Amino acid sequence: MPRLTVLSFLLTCAVSLSSSAIVVDNGMPLLWNQLGDLSPKDGVLTINPWHIFNRMAIYRLMIDATNPVMDPMGPGENQNPMFGLPLQLGWMLTSGRLADPTGTTNCGMDPGEPACISTASWWACENYFVSVLPFLSVVQNKFLGEDIQVQIQPVDGVTEYCNTYAGCLALFPDAMTKWDNFFKGLLASGGSSAPDNEKKDTLLGLYWEAHMASIDASSACDARKNLLSGPELSFANAWLNSTQYVAAAHFQSGLELATKFLEHLPSQVLKEDDVAPNIERLSQEENQMLMTFTWLDSINTRMSGTLVSVWQKAMCTVSTREKGRALLERILLNTDYNAIGFLGDVTLMAAQCA
Protein backbone atom coordinates (compact mmCIF):
# COMPACT_ATOMS: atom_id res chain seq x y z
CA MET A 1 0.00 0.00 0.00
CA PRO A 2 1.50 3.43 -0.94
CA ARG A 3 2.71 5.50 2.00
CA LEU A 4 0.14 8.29 1.71
CA THR A 5 -2.64 5.71 1.35
CA VAL A 6 -1.46 4.07 4.58
CA LEU A 7 -1.42 7.45 6.32
CA SER A 8 -4.91 8.35 5.04
CA PHE A 9 -6.20 4.98 6.26
CA LEU A 10 -4.79 5.55 9.75
CA LEU A 11 -6.25 9.04 9.95
CA THR A 12 -9.65 7.74 8.81
CA CYS A 13 -9.54 5.05 11.49
CA ALA A 14 -8.66 7.65 14.10
CA VAL A 15 -11.70 9.73 13.22
CA SER A 16 -14.13 6.83 13.09
CA LEU A 17 -12.98 4.95 16.19
CA SER A 18 -12.74 6.56 19.65
CA SER A 19 -12.20 3.46 21.82
CA SER A 20 -8.54 4.41 22.16
CA ALA A 21 -5.86 6.50 20.56
CA ILE A 22 -4.03 4.84 17.67
CA VAL A 23 -0.30 4.70 18.49
CA VAL A 24 0.83 1.37 16.99
CA ASP A 25 0.36 -0.56 13.75
CA ASN A 26 1.15 -4.28 13.83
CA GLY A 27 2.83 -3.83 17.18
CA MET A 28 5.22 -1.06 16.10
CA PRO A 29 4.96 2.76 16.03
CA LEU A 30 2.76 4.10 13.26
CA LEU A 31 4.31 4.17 9.77
CA TRP A 32 7.38 2.31 11.09
CA ASN A 33 7.48 -0.11 8.18
CA GLN A 34 6.48 2.44 5.51
CA LEU A 35 9.36 4.87 5.97
CA GLY A 36 11.23 3.80 2.84
CA ASP A 37 14.95 4.22 2.25
CA LEU A 38 16.65 5.94 5.20
CA SER A 39 20.13 5.81 3.68
CA PRO A 40 22.26 8.93 3.14
CA LYS A 41 22.83 10.04 -0.44
CA ASP A 42 26.48 10.81 -1.18
CA GLY A 43 27.17 10.91 2.53
CA VAL A 44 24.40 13.44 3.24
CA LEU A 45 21.11 12.62 4.95
CA THR A 46 18.45 15.22 4.13
CA ILE A 47 15.50 15.48 6.51
CA ASN A 48 12.36 17.59 6.25
CA PRO A 49 11.01 17.48 9.83
CA TRP A 50 7.71 19.01 8.70
CA HIS A 51 6.80 15.86 6.78
CA ILE A 52 5.44 13.05 8.95
CA PHE A 53 7.42 10.27 7.26
CA ASN A 54 10.65 12.24 7.67
CA ARG A 55 10.05 13.08 11.31
CA MET A 56 9.11 9.49 12.11
CA ALA A 57 12.25 8.41 10.25
CA ILE A 58 14.31 10.48 12.69
CA TYR A 59 13.10 8.23 15.50
CA ARG A 60 13.61 5.06 13.49
CA LEU A 61 17.19 6.07 12.74
CA MET A 62 17.95 6.94 16.37
CA ILE A 63 16.45 3.76 17.77
CA ASP A 64 18.07 1.48 15.21
CA ALA A 65 21.45 3.15 15.77
CA THR A 66 21.35 2.93 19.58
CA ASN A 67 19.76 -0.52 19.95
CA PRO A 68 23.16 -2.32 19.83
CA VAL A 69 24.20 -0.56 23.07
CA MET A 70 20.85 -0.91 24.87
CA ASP A 71 21.69 -4.15 26.71
CA PRO A 72 21.43 -2.44 30.13
CA MET A 73 17.73 -1.83 29.47
CA GLY A 74 17.10 -5.52 30.11
CA PRO A 75 16.10 -8.65 28.19
CA GLY A 76 13.59 -8.67 25.38
CA GLU A 77 13.18 -6.60 22.27
CA ASN A 78 12.11 -2.98 22.00
CA GLN A 79 13.25 -1.84 25.46
CA ASN A 80 14.88 1.31 24.08
CA PRO A 81 13.43 4.21 26.14
CA MET A 82 13.25 6.37 23.02
CA PHE A 83 10.30 4.29 21.79
CA GLY A 84 8.03 6.59 23.78
CA LEU A 85 8.86 9.42 21.38
CA PRO A 86 7.59 7.94 18.06
CA LEU A 87 4.55 6.63 19.90
CA GLN A 88 3.79 10.17 21.07
CA LEU A 89 4.28 11.47 17.53
CA GLY A 90 1.86 8.86 16.20
CA TRP A 91 -0.73 9.87 18.79
CA MET A 92 -0.33 13.54 17.87
CA LEU A 93 -0.78 12.63 14.21
CA THR A 94 -3.93 10.53 14.46
CA SER A 95 -5.55 12.82 17.04
CA GLY A 96 -5.20 15.81 14.73
CA ARG A 97 -2.71 17.68 16.88
CA LEU A 98 -0.13 18.09 14.11
CA ALA A 99 -2.60 19.80 11.74
CA ASP A 100 -2.80 23.55 11.16
CA PRO A 101 -4.76 24.90 14.14
CA THR A 102 -5.58 28.12 12.31
CA GLY A 103 -7.55 26.30 9.62
CA THR A 104 -6.06 28.55 6.94
CA THR A 105 -4.21 25.70 5.18
CA ASN A 106 -4.78 22.01 4.47
CA CYS A 107 -1.57 21.05 6.31
CA GLY A 108 -2.17 17.87 8.28
CA MET A 109 -5.67 17.45 6.88
CA ASP A 110 -7.08 14.42 5.08
CA PRO A 111 -8.17 15.17 2.41
CA GLY A 112 -5.57 17.83 1.86
CA GLU A 113 -1.96 17.37 2.92
CA PRO A 114 -2.05 14.50 5.44
CA ALA A 115 1.74 14.10 5.53
CA CYS A 116 2.29 17.78 6.36
CA ILE A 117 3.18 18.82 9.93
CA SER A 118 2.10 22.37 10.66
CA THR A 119 4.68 24.85 11.93
CA ALA A 120 1.78 26.64 13.66
CA SER A 121 0.92 23.62 15.84
CA TRP A 122 2.11 23.85 19.45
CA TRP A 123 2.22 20.06 19.68
CA ALA A 124 4.35 19.82 16.53
CA CYS A 125 6.66 22.54 17.81
CA GLU A 126 7.12 20.88 21.20
CA ASN A 127 7.84 17.56 19.49
CA TYR A 128 10.50 19.21 17.32
CA PHE A 129 12.65 19.66 20.43
CA VAL A 130 12.51 15.94 21.32
CA SER A 131 13.14 14.79 17.75
CA VAL A 132 15.52 17.07 15.88
CA LEU A 133 17.69 18.01 18.89
CA PRO A 134 18.47 14.42 19.99
CA PHE A 135 18.87 13.38 16.35
CA LEU A 136 21.55 16.02 15.76
CA SER A 137 23.29 14.77 18.92
CA VAL A 138 23.13 11.16 17.68
CA VAL A 139 24.81 12.21 14.46
CA GLN A 140 27.39 14.31 16.32
CA ASN A 141 28.28 11.29 18.48
CA LYS A 142 28.87 9.15 15.37
CA PHE A 143 26.08 6.64 15.90
CA LEU A 144 25.22 6.86 12.20
CA GLY A 145 28.84 6.62 11.09
CA GLU A 146 32.00 8.68 11.07
CA ASP A 147 31.41 10.68 7.90
CA ILE A 148 27.64 11.12 7.77
CA GLN A 149 26.38 14.67 7.37
CA VAL A 150 22.83 15.79 8.00
CA GLN A 151 20.81 18.57 6.45
CA ILE A 152 17.69 19.54 8.39
CA GLN A 153 15.55 21.61 6.06
CA PRO A 154 14.74 25.04 7.55
CA VAL A 155 11.38 26.79 7.44
CA ASP A 156 11.25 30.19 5.78
CA GLY A 157 10.23 32.95 8.16
CA VAL A 158 10.21 30.77 11.28
CA THR A 159 13.03 31.48 13.72
CA GLU A 160 12.32 29.23 16.72
CA TYR A 161 13.82 26.12 15.16
CA CYS A 162 17.53 25.43 15.00
CA ASN A 163 18.58 23.03 12.24
CA THR A 164 22.29 22.28 12.81
CA TYR A 165 24.19 20.84 15.75
CA ALA A 166 26.18 24.06 16.19
CA GLY A 167 23.06 26.20 15.93
CA CYS A 168 21.12 24.13 18.46
CA LEU A 169 24.10 24.07 20.82
CA ALA A 170 24.28 27.87 20.67
CA LEU A 171 20.54 28.38 21.23
CA PHE A 172 19.83 25.48 23.60
CA PRO A 173 23.15 24.50 25.20
CA ASP A 174 21.62 22.69 28.19
CA ALA A 175 19.47 20.42 26.02
CA MET A 176 22.22 19.61 23.53
CA THR A 177 24.80 18.96 26.25
CA LYS A 178 22.47 16.60 28.07
CA TRP A 179 21.61 14.68 24.90
CA ASP A 180 25.35 14.34 24.30
CA ASN A 181 25.75 13.05 27.88
CA PHE A 182 23.07 10.42 27.31
CA PHE A 183 24.53 9.11 24.07
CA LYS A 184 28.07 9.15 25.44
CA GLY A 185 26.78 7.32 28.51
CA LEU A 186 25.32 4.63 26.26
CA LEU A 187 28.67 4.14 24.56
CA ALA A 188 30.48 3.94 27.92
CA SER A 189 27.99 1.60 29.62
CA GLY A 190 29.48 -1.52 28.05
CA GLY A 191 32.70 -1.02 29.99
CA SER A 192 31.00 -0.39 33.34
CA SER A 193 31.27 -2.99 36.10
CA ALA A 194 28.18 -1.68 37.92
CA PRO A 195 25.24 -4.06 38.50
CA ASP A 196 22.79 -4.18 35.61
CA ASN A 197 19.98 -2.45 37.51
CA GLU A 198 22.31 0.43 38.44
CA LYS A 199 23.55 0.82 34.87
CA LYS A 200 19.96 0.87 33.65
CA ASP A 201 18.96 3.43 36.27
CA THR A 202 21.92 5.66 35.45
CA LEU A 203 21.21 5.61 31.72
CA LEU A 204 17.51 6.29 32.24
CA GLY A 205 18.48 9.19 34.48
CA LEU A 206 20.63 10.64 31.70
CA TYR A 207 17.85 10.07 29.18
CA TRP A 208 15.25 11.89 31.24
CA GLU A 209 17.60 14.75 32.05
CA ALA A 210 18.01 15.27 28.31
CA HIS A 211 14.29 14.86 27.66
CA MET A 212 13.39 17.43 30.32
CA ALA A 213 16.01 19.85 28.99
CA SER A 214 14.34 19.59 25.57
CA ILE A 215 10.96 20.24 27.20
CA ASP A 216 12.42 23.36 28.82
CA ALA A 217 13.84 24.47 25.47
CA SER A 218 10.41 24.03 23.88
CA SER A 219 9.20 27.09 25.80
CA ALA A 220 10.16 28.75 22.49
CA CYS A 221 6.83 27.32 21.28
CA ASP A 222 4.68 29.05 23.92
CA ALA A 223 3.15 31.65 21.60
CA ARG A 224 1.44 28.81 19.73
CA LYS A 225 -0.53 27.94 22.86
CA ASN A 226 -2.76 30.91 22.04
CA LEU A 227 -4.25 28.80 19.24
CA LEU A 228 -5.44 26.07 21.64
CA SER A 229 -8.91 25.89 23.13
CA GLY A 230 -9.21 26.33 26.91
CA PRO A 231 -9.59 22.58 27.60
CA GLU A 232 -6.81 21.70 25.15
CA LEU A 233 -4.49 24.25 26.77
CA SER A 234 -5.21 22.87 30.24
CA PHE A 235 -4.51 19.36 29.00
CA ALA A 236 -1.29 20.46 27.27
CA ASN A 237 -0.02 22.05 30.49
CA ALA A 238 -0.99 19.00 32.54
CA TRP A 239 0.70 16.75 29.98
CA LEU A 240 3.90 18.76 30.33
CA ASN A 241 3.63 18.65 34.12
CA SER A 242 3.30 14.86 34.04
CA THR A 243 6.76 14.52 32.50
CA GLN A 244 8.25 15.65 35.81
CA TYR A 245 6.87 12.52 37.47
CA VAL A 246 8.05 10.05 34.86
CA ALA A 247 11.44 11.76 34.63
CA ALA A 248 12.09 11.65 38.38
CA ALA A 249 11.13 7.95 38.46
CA HIS A 250 13.45 7.16 35.53
CA PHE A 251 10.52 5.62 33.69
CA GLN A 252 11.56 3.07 31.08
CA SER A 253 9.47 4.07 28.09
CA GLY A 254 10.05 0.92 26.03
CA LEU A 255 7.58 0.00 23.32
CA GLU A 256 5.16 -2.19 25.26
CA LEU A 257 4.94 -0.16 28.46
CA ALA A 258 4.84 3.22 26.73
CA THR A 259 2.00 1.98 24.53
CA LYS A 260 -0.06 1.20 27.64
CA PHE A 261 0.34 4.76 28.88
CA LEU A 262 -0.31 6.45 25.55
CA GLU A 263 -3.21 4.48 24.07
CA HIS A 264 -5.74 6.16 26.37
CA LEU A 265 -4.66 9.73 25.71
CA PRO A 266 -7.48 11.81 24.13
CA SER A 267 -7.84 10.65 20.54
CA GLN A 268 -9.25 14.00 19.40
CA VAL A 269 -8.36 17.65 19.96
CA LEU A 270 -10.37 19.05 22.86
CA LYS A 271 -13.02 21.69 22.15
CA GLU A 272 -14.20 24.61 24.27
CA ASP A 273 -17.17 22.76 25.76
CA ASP A 274 -15.30 19.52 26.55
CA VAL A 275 -15.34 18.58 30.24
CA ALA A 276 -14.06 15.19 31.39
CA PRO A 277 -15.38 12.68 32.33
CA ASN A 278 -18.37 13.56 30.14
CA ILE A 279 -16.82 14.00 26.70
CA GLU A 280 -19.01 11.83 24.47
CA ARG A 281 -16.51 11.84 21.59
CA LEU A 282 -13.94 10.08 23.81
CA SER A 283 -13.97 6.63 25.36
CA GLN A 284 -14.41 6.03 29.08
CA GLU A 285 -10.71 5.24 29.37
CA GLU A 286 -9.73 8.47 27.63
CA ASN A 287 -12.04 10.48 29.88
CA GLN A 288 -10.52 8.79 32.92
CA MET A 289 -6.98 9.50 31.73
CA LEU A 290 -7.88 13.16 31.23
CA MET A 291 -9.28 13.29 34.76
CA THR A 292 -6.07 11.83 36.15
CA PHE A 293 -3.91 14.36 34.31
CA THR A 294 -6.21 17.16 35.48
CA TRP A 295 -6.18 16.33 39.17
CA LEU A 296 -2.44 15.66 39.27
CA ASP A 297 -1.87 19.09 37.79
CA SER A 298 -4.52 20.85 39.89
CA ILE A 299 -3.28 19.33 43.16
CA ASN A 300 0.26 20.39 42.38
CA THR A 301 -0.94 23.91 41.51
CA ARG A 302 -2.95 24.21 44.73
CA MET A 303 0.10 23.03 46.66
CA SER A 304 2.30 25.63 44.89
CA GLY A 305 4.37 22.93 43.25
CA THR A 306 4.87 20.93 46.44
CA LEU A 307 3.48 17.67 45.04
CA VAL A 308 6.11 17.53 42.30
CA SER A 309 8.80 18.50 44.82
CA VAL A 310 7.75 15.77 47.26
CA TRP A 311 7.63 13.24 44.42
CA GLN A 312 11.11 14.20 43.27
CA LYS A 313 12.37 13.92 46.85
CA ALA A 314 10.83 10.46 47.11
CA MET A 315 12.72 9.26 44.01
CA CYS A 316 16.04 9.24 45.91
CA THR A 317 17.42 5.74 45.23
CA VAL A 318 17.35 3.00 42.63
CA SER A 319 14.84 1.03 44.71
CA THR A 320 12.51 3.97 45.41
CA ARG A 321 12.51 4.86 41.72
CA GLU A 322 11.48 1.28 40.95
CA LYS A 323 8.59 1.72 43.42
CA GLY A 324 7.80 5.07 41.82
CA ARG A 325 7.46 3.51 38.38
CA ALA A 326 5.04 0.95 39.79
CA LEU A 327 3.11 3.76 41.46
CA LEU A 328 2.80 5.62 38.17
CA GLU A 329 1.33 2.51 36.57
CA ARG A 330 -1.26 2.36 39.36
CA ILE A 331 -2.24 6.00 39.15
CA LEU A 332 -2.50 6.12 35.35
CA LEU A 333 -3.82 2.66 34.56
CA ASN A 334 -5.91 1.71 37.61
CA THR A 335 -9.23 3.55 37.87
CA ASP A 336 -9.68 2.47 41.52
CA TYR A 337 -6.55 4.27 42.69
CA ASN A 338 -7.34 7.79 43.91
CA ALA A 339 -5.67 11.05 44.82
CA ILE A 340 -5.75 10.39 48.57
CA GLY A 341 -3.99 7.06 48.16
CA PHE A 342 -1.41 8.62 45.85
CA LEU A 343 -0.66 11.48 48.23
CA GLY A 344 -0.30 9.08 51.15
CA ASP A 345 2.07 6.77 49.27
CA VAL A 346 4.22 9.62 47.96
CA THR A 347 4.46 11.29 51.38
CA LEU A 348 5.52 8.01 53.01
CA MET A 349 8.15 7.38 50.35
CA ALA A 350 9.55 10.91 50.70
CA ALA A 351 9.78 10.50 54.49
CA GLN A 352 11.84 7.35 53.99
CA CYS A 353 14.26 9.35 51.83
CA ALA A 354 14.77 12.07 54.43
Query: What is the share, in percent, of the chain residues with pLDDT greater than 90?
Result: 64
pLDDT of residue 254 exceeding 90, the answer is yes
28: helix, strand or coil: strand
On the 0-12 / 13-18 / 19+ scale of CB atoms within 10 A, 129 is: buried
pLDDT, tens only, 146-171: 888 899 998 877 778 899 999 999 99
pLDDT, tens only, 161-214: 899 999 999 999 999 999 999 999 999 987 777 888 889 999 999 999 999 999
pLDDT, tens only, 79-106: 999 999 999 999 999 999 999 999 999 9
Indicate the helix (H) or strand (E) that contains 138: helix 132-140
CA distance 273 to 285: 19
pLDDT at 329: 86
CA dihedral (131, 136, 142, 148) positive or negative:
positive
* pLDDT average, residue stretch 316-327: 91
pLDDT of residue 271 exceeding 70, the answer is yes
pLDDT at 167: 95
* pLDDT average, residue stretch 263-274: 94
Closest by CA position to 103, among listed 85, 122, 120: 120
Decide the pairing of beta strands 44-47 and 149-152.
Answer: parallel
Reported residue count of the chain is 354
Lowest mean pLDDT segment, chosen from 13-22, 93-102, 130-139, 282-291? 13-22
- The structure's pTM equals 0.93
CA dihedral (21, 26, 32, 37) positive or negative:
negative
pLDDT at 11: 66
